[in-house]
Amino acid sequence: MAPFDASASWSAAPAEPDGFADRFKDALANLASGVAIISCWDDDAPRGLLVSSITGLSVDPPRFLFCVRKEAASHEALLRAETCGVAILSSGDHEEALRFSSSARASERFAPSRWDLDHQDAPAYLGGLSTATCRIDSRIDATTHSMFVVSAIDIVVAPSTNPLIAFARGLHGLEAVAA
């Protein structure tokens, strides 16, 4: 078996039957996932976007993996950045998530009352379940998206509250269930 080549690009899938792409989107809509705001500096301008593709990759080293659509306005800035912010959102961050999921609301992002814009490594969200400053270790071309592997270099964990999740093409608060 050949070793895995992380720098390799993935090719497009073979042609699929009519309606397959829509069925696949429906299947993905049924996958509940946490959401996070990814932020970075683009020269002196803050940039950011909402992702539902974030996952904890490993504890040692402390890494996240997330994907960004190449058409996203912040994609090129993330490709150039050395560091980024990762803010895992709570149900109380619903409005902030909407600001970062819609390009029409881009002018509402990064309000100083909600963001630390003096943070040198990346704009830092003042809310969320947790926030991390991360070093961008790898950028992997995946045709329509780029995958980013980032290592946490600083982490702040807020008191536990309910997470915000993406499910069924919407954002929902998830109420914790006692064990």
In tens, the pLDDT along 93-148 reads: 999 999 999 999 999 999 999 999 999 999 999 999 999 999 999 999 999 999 99
Q: Which two tokens stand for residue 125?
A: 């969200």
pTM (2 d.p.) = 0.86
Is the separation of the CB atoms in 161 and 86 below 8 Å? Answer: no
Query: Rounded to the nearest 5 degrees, what angle is found at the Cα of 139, between the Cα atoms of 36 and 115?
Result: 35
Q: For the chain, what percent of residues have pLDDT higher than 70?
A: 88
Strand partners, 49: 38
User: Can you give the pLDDT at residue 86?
Assistant: 98
Whether residue 45 is predicted with pLDDT greater than 90 in this model: the reply is yes
- Which residue is it, tokens 């993996």? 65
| Boundaries of every domain in the chain | 34-172
Q: 152: Cβ–Cβ under 8 A, 6 or more apart, which residues?
A: 62, 63, 64, 86, 132, 133, 134
Kindly indicate the confidence band of residue 15, based on its pLDDT and cuts at 50, 70 and 90: low
Q: In this structure, how many other beta carbons lie within 10 angstroms of the beta carbon of residue 90?
A: 22
User: Can you give the pLDDT at residue 100?
Assistant: 97
Q: In this structure, how many other beta carbons lie within 10 angstroms of the beta carbon of residue 154?
A: 13
CATH superfamily of domain region 34-172:
Electron Transport, Fmn-binding Protein; Chain A (2.30.110.10)
